[in-house]
Structure 1
Amino acid sequence: MRIAIRHRLSVTPPAGTANAVLQLLLTPQGGPTQNVESWSVEMAGIGNAGRFIDAYGNVAHLVNQSRPEGELVVTVKGVIETTDRHGVLGRVGGEPVPALYRRVTPLTKAPVTLYGKFRNAKESRLDVLHALMARVGETLGTSETPAQMQADGGQSQSQGEAGKALPPASDYAHSFVGAARALDIPARYVTGYLMGAEDGVSAFHTWAEAFDEGLGWIGFDARLQMCPTDRHVRLAAGLDGLSTQPLRVVPAGDGARDIEVSVAAA
């Protein structure tokens, strides 16, 4: 599937800032599930930006802004050709060792009620991971079932049965990642885009990937209760939502905000 993406974000450094540094994780890479036909990043100073591969294998840009005044706008756009591999990314060369993703972070501390029943499971790892995805859905709620809990500070994006508010996709990804790590399974947080997002789910989307010795990395979208398909465009991966922020600035202001996210068939 060919998917056209346009994403505009903005961030406002604190007033009186002498020099600001922006880090962008807004450049997708090709791989088993996608081919980047075209992609551009536009903002003031991008021509002199430093480009590098970060510790998690993501393409990152560092952009300096001298005496920035007001809102800084970043626009990314391009066309990605995707392939449905039923969520299987496999083993990608040049990536960090999977063991890195056993590390628990403050955002990925999962309650034992999510993973306790799987501690002594006799099933295969793949079966356990699918059951874990279902368990996260049962706990946080899906579009068909009411939410049973809200993550701290989570802003609801959609409504479940009987008008119950559901947490954002990031809460599902963090819960799945944390529960998998509690079972000693390497798991990572993934950002990207979702074509045809429904039920209030943002087109800028998040999900998780877990490692299986036989199949390699496999994606699990607990918010949608499915493995990623050719509707998903993978952008960046890391330990959690903090390490995969698409746009951050130092010194920090009020945080980045989306102006426009358009994801459609090309």
Structure 2
Amino acid sequence: MSRLVAILLLLCLPAVAAERRSGFDFMSPATQEMQREDALNPAMLWVAEGEAQWNETPANGKSCAGCHGDATASMRGVAARYPAYDERSGKAIDLQGRINACRATHQHQPAAFDAESRPLLGLAAYLGLQSRGLPVRAPDDPRLAPALRKGEALFHTAMGQLNFSCTQCHDANWGKRLAGSPIPQAHPTGYPIYRLEWQDMGSLQRRLRNCMTGVRAEPFPYGADELVELELYLNSRAAGMAMETPAVRP
């Protein structure tokens, strides 16, 4: 790891670093059991569809398995290190962005999966499952340093009509309640997640946009650099915590 990135990571650690807790810890026993037991976890429906897509060969290209082989071996630990640096764009890219880029390059599909579409979430959940239980990895590429700084700045920037920042909720008031729901520490260890409120799967970008709407701010569009930068920063805070994908949340 470069010295610059190591210093940035130290600066990024939240005040609660010594007491980091997953959102799982704030859930009711019934919801925790839903996540623990795959047979009860509704997100596993998306995982099953993602596995089928992994092995499906399109008419004019290769299957994911055709390039990468058995996902349980080749993809183990991969989701734990995203967002990563993308050579083609020169920017940080999240896992779903990588899926779409790979699909365009190797499967010759001109159209990307739509944001929050079932196929995209299914593949992301299936790949995330291969890292379940492994630690989230801190970014170790110095080329990610500018994006990491931008993500940290966004986390501390007050926005919207309520003039509220991420840190005011998730650092200063974690463990308290907002509209009856517990405030977690915002460690993104389980995305994509099945959220009971949504009755659906969703990405971290969907959750970030929800938060922005909640403070009456104009949300960044799906795929925006700002959302990927925020995810990069949040993952740096969660480095070393166990991956939970696909998680369940209230």
Fold-level match, TM-score > 0.5?
no
Structure-2-length-normalised TM-score: 0.30
Where is the strand percentage greater, Structure 1 or Structure 2?
A: 1
Which structure is larger by alpha-carbon Rg, 1 or 2? 1
